[in-house]
């Protein structure tokens, strides 16, 4: 069944737990298989430069799994020669360019596309020419949306971390920023995705922005899986997204 808004499940944090002991358990590929069986529309994984969670071998196995299941793999990657070579070797369905700093705990903000067009545009072109759907993970600002369009991206994924952390009036202001940026992106012909920090409530909130076609959610779902299991967490997320 195709849902109006796709749910991509990010399995990075299964690998984080695995790597804490350096063994093979829990296996992120098993989590991805379970996520697809539970109704995830695709799998998202971030191969970081420092390999702190997902490894090259995980990407090999996730590529095979998604290809076999006929479901999209969305590879999150920094704008580096190394990651470009890996993406070109695997040719996943989608590549999402994200900022990366070794010292950060997670991807703490969007990619600065405006002002860096000359560095980003050739990478977008190389990925798109190889058949990947190229997405840029950006802050919901008009400046970044317009720069994403200028460098030839097909998709923008808005970083929802600020929205998720704010409350009250500040959250309402950030929601308007998301709405405005989504409208502009759609006017420019860009597909709109959103992700980072989303839980059942904030994911449901995103459904009020009609331009959003996909959410990518990881940390909350993997955390919830400790209490209710991954399948139930995904079912509840799907229900939260479909309720609005």
User: Which range, of 32-40, 58-66, 196-204, 233-241, touches ligand PXP by CB under 6 A?
Assistant: 196-204
C-alpha span between 189 and 150 (Å, rounded): 12
Which residues 201-230 are close enough to bind ligand PXP by CB under 6 A? 216-220
- DSSP calls for 95-129: EEE----TT-SS--S----TT-HHHHHHHHHHHHH
Both structure tokens of 224? 């919830």
Among 195, 209, 234, 238, binds ligand PXP (CB under 6 A): 195
Among 40, 62, 96, 233, binds ligand PXP (CB under 6 A): 96
Q: Which of 72, 4, 5 is nearest to 35 (CA)?
A: 72
User: Which range, of 55-63, 148-156, 195-203, 230-238, touches ligand PXP by CB under 6 A?
Assistant: 195-203
> Is 197 annotated as ligand-binding?
yes
In this complex, which beta carbon is closest to ligand PXP, that of residue 68 or of residue 165? 165
In this complex, which beta carbon is closest to ligand PXP, that of residue 92 or of residue 195? 195
Instruction: Check residue 197 for interaction with ligand PXP (CB under 6 A).
Output: yes
Both structure tokens of 209? 């922005």
SS3 label, residue 216 = strand
C-alpha span between 101 and 106 (Å, rounded): 9
Q: What angle do CA 196, 201, 206 make, to 5 degrees?
A: 60
Q: What count of other Cβ atoms lies within 10 Å of the Cβ of residue 51? A: 13
In this complex, which beta carbon is closest to ligand PXP, that of residue 33 or of residue 42? 42
Give residues in contact with ligand PXP (CB under 6 A): 10, 46, 76, 96, 98, 106-107, 137, 157, 195-198, 216-220
Q: Annotated binding site, which residues?
A: 10, 12-13, 21, 48, 53, 106, 197, 218-219
């Amino acid at each position: 069944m195709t849902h109006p808004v796709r749910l991509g499940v990010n399995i990075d944090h299964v690998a984080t737990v695995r790597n804490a002991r350096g063994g093979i358990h829990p296996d992120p590929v098993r989590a991805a298989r379970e996520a697809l069986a539970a109704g995830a529309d695709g799998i998202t994984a971030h191969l970081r430069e420092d390999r702190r969670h997902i490894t090259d071998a995980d990407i090999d196995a996730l590529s095979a799994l998604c290809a076999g299941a006929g479901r999209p793999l969305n590879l999150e990657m920094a704008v580096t020669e190394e990651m470009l070579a890996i993406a070109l070797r695997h040719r996943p369905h989608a590549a999402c360019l994200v900022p990366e700093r070794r010292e950060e705990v997670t991807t703490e903000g969007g990619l600065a596309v405006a002002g860096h067009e000359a560095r980003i545009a050739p990478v977008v072109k190389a990925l798109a020419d190889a058949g990947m759907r190229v997405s840029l993970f950006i802050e919901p600002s008009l400046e970044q949306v317009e720069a994403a369009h200028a460098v030839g991206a097909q998709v923008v994924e808005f970083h929802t971390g600020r929205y998720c952390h704010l409350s009250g009036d500040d959250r309402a202001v950030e929601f308007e920023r998301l709405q405005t940026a989504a409208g502009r992106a759609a006017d420019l012909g860009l597909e709109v995705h959103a992700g980072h920090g989303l839980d059942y409530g904030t994911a449901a909130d995103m459904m009020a922005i009609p331009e959003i076609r996909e959410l990518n959610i990881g940390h909350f779902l993997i955390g919830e899986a400790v209490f209710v299991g991954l399948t139930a967490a995904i079912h509840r997320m799907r229900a939260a997204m479909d309720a609005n």
